[in-house]
Amino acid sequence: MVQQQQQQQQQQQQQQQQQQQQQQQQQQQQEQQQQQQQQQQQQQQALPPLTTWRGPHLHRSAATSTSLMSPALPPTLAPTRTRADMRPSWPANAASSSAVRPRLS
């Protein structure tokens, strides 16, 4: 009888230790998640707002404001297709991008 009681007590102690270990692991995971969230927020703040979602086409099609909708098109094609009805003076100014660029910055 005495031996059985001792064995039961030892098993209970082992179970408690396992539970404590699991709790510690969960805490570590939560800390890691918080660190990752902080890093993501810092990266978003550090980047300028325009270049984040425009990608590599920013410098090539910076002259046209339509590059947000269709960034793959060359700058000369985009304004004539999408904005020819609104602004008829676009195709003439498409070659000289210096007149259009201050609007973006």
pLDDT for the residue 8: 65
> Two tokens at 72?
């793959």
* Structural tokens at position 35: 């660190």
pLDDT (tens digit per residue) in 27-85: 666 666 665 555 555 555 555 555 445 555 555 544 555 445 555 555 555 455 444 45
Q: How far apart are CA 64 and CA 100, in angstroms?
A: 7
> Which is more confident, 67 or 15?
15
Residue 7, pLDDT score: 65
| 51 against 10, higher pLDDT | 10
Question: Is residue 87 pLDDT above 60, yes or no?
Answer: no
pLDDT, position 83: 47
Q: Is the pLDDT of residue 18 over 60?
A: yes
pLDDT of residue 35: 59
CA 95 to chain centre: 33
